[in-house]
Structure 1
Amino acid sequence: MSDLKAAAARALACLDLTNLNEDCTEEDVRALCARAQTPHGPTGAICIWPQFVSLAKPLLAGTGIRIATVVNFPSGMEDADTVIGMTETAVADGADEIDMVIPWPKLIEGHPQEAAAMVRRVRKSADGAEVKAILETGMLADPGLIRSAAEQAIEGGAHFIKTSTGKVPVNATLTSARIMLEAIRDSGEEVGFKPAGGVKSTQDAADYLALCDEIMGEGWATPATFRIGASGVLDALLATLDGADEPQTGEGY
């Protein structure tokens, strides 16, 4: 249990506590901000829809919890000028991090360079906010396409590469995580990694931390370089830290 507790503590500090439900309300966001301030310390960030950023900003002031939001989400195929406008508005509202979906269908069609171009534009418009590029690995599926997507996102200047939106049938997997971490390692760039969707138990979180330790070296995975995108795993992490049984996991992000 001590090893699992240590993993739970690491994971909690790296958690992007998420509500990207279609029916999310202001009350839900207030509750999310409160949940992120746990008895075992704050989560790394919350991840919410753009329209709620200005609401969350004062609620998290002084907590150290960052605010992430999403653009070009979840399709990856919105008009570029619209995505840039959303990015600029989100940053003006107080977003610290922009989780953007790359135009992954273009990779499948044989136009990978469009992913780098979109990341480059979003990073420029983010005005210092960190950019996490979502590859949608479950839809790319092919290891070669996942590797290409990771390389294009890194070339475009992404601060993090992220597996998934959580809105498709297959989200984060250890297989796709390995491909992405190896791309980061081989690039020589300082780029972080975020698995998202499907991380539901403390053991799930521990498995991703162990993979980071294996590929990137022990101590690499900190909130500055590693995040977990999840809504349900917080209860599991807190239960582990309290020495209690984990709750039954459900479906969702």
Structure 2
Amino acid sequence: MTDAELATILIRRLDLTNLDDGCTAADVDALIERAATPVAAVAAICIWPRFVAQARARLPADMRLACVVNFPDGGEDVAETCRETRQAVADGADEIDLVVSWRRAGDRPDLIRDQVRAVKEAAGTARVKAILETGDLADPALVRAGAEAALDGGADVLKTSTGKTGTGATPEAARILLDAVARRGGAAGFKASGGVRRFEDARSYYRLAEEILGAGQATAERFRIGASGVLADLVAVAGGERRADAVAGY
């Protein structure tokens, strides 16, 4: 497979994201415009809950709409997170990116399990991605405990990071999450988010997913990249164009 072909695949695995604190309705409209590139359309956009209804009205029917809940702090008010989830789904969200109470991975993994289980019920048919903030967890044993707890609760996808802390996705954390998914079997997936800015970054996570989940398993259902700035680089590689410097973003 050529780099251009792989870049096209990666565009189709991208959750194009705007979770800036100052995000506006106009920014969301611009995000939707960017999402349908001349090469391929992204898998989904990922936005704040307050913009879901607006985005649903404009988004193509074949593009997923993801929104964050309990974001970015990962608090323990499960009732409020479920309320936020139900509203997002009613407004048109297809996917819920839930920040779990990752700080409790060591002493209360059952809390993470029950939190994911409750949000899964509130989400109905929407898929739930559990964000573990692996960069702040740091200790591989804690990352593993959080991953297992989220899967026990029924998480559809394990996601590395909010992109709001100093350390986002890392290959080490990605391997732990992917190993947890692979050991369970089934159809759960993985999302790398936080600091993915270049084609090479996205490629490394895709290859890792193919290695651990199995050849052909890094589908758009089971593998995603969460980012904003990487899209331009992927489009440039896919089109054989000159690449710009890395762009900051999620």
> TM-score if structure 1 supplies the norm length?
0.96
- RMSD across aligned positions (CA): 1.0
**Pick aligned residue for 1:164 from 153, 161, 164:** 161
CA–CA separation in structure 2 for the residues paired with 1:28 and 1:202: 24
Question: After superposition, what is the alpha-carbon deviation per residue over 1:114-164, rounded to whole angstroms, capped at 9, x for unaligned?
Answer: 101100000000011000000110011011111111111111001101000
Question: Displacement of 1:245 after TM fit?
Answer: 2.2
Mapping 1:68-217, distance limit 5 Å:
68-108=66-106, 110-217=107-214
- 1:7–1:205: 8 Å Cα contact kept in structure 2? no
Structure 1 gap segments, 5+ residues each: none
Equivalence for 1:226: 223
Structure 1 stretches (4+) deviating beyond 2 angstroms?
A: none
Matched, 1:3 2:22: no
Question: Displacement of 1:3 after TM fit?
Answer: 2.3
Deviates more, 1:99-108 or 1:228-237: 99-108
Equivalent residue letter for 2:99? V
- 1:162–1:196: 8 Å Cα contact kept in structure 2? yes
Equivalence for 2:55: 56
Question: Displacement of 1:80 after TM fit?
Answer: 1.3
Question: What fraction of aligned residue pairs are identical, expressed as a percent?
Answer: 48
Equivalent residue letter for 1:98? I
Provide the aligned length of Structure 1 versus Structure 2.
250
CA–CA separation in structure 2 for the residues paired with 1:93 and 1:135: 25
CA–CA separation in structure 2 for the residues paired with 1:23 and 1:233: 20
Question: Displacement of 1:78 after TM fit?
Answer: 4.6
Equivalence for 2:26: 27
Equivalent residue letter for 1:18? T
CA–CA separation in structure 2 for the residues paired with 1:10 and 1:49: 26
CA–CA separation in structure 1 for the residues paired with 2:238 and 2:182: 31
Question: Displacement of 1:13 after TM fit?
Answer: 0.3
Question: After superposition, what is the alpha-carbon deviation per residue over 1:71-123, rounded to whole angstroms, capped at 9, x for unaligned?
Answer: 01111015111101100000000000000011011124x11111011000000
Question: Displacement of 1:251 after TM fit?
Answer: 2.6
SS in 2 for 1:195: strand
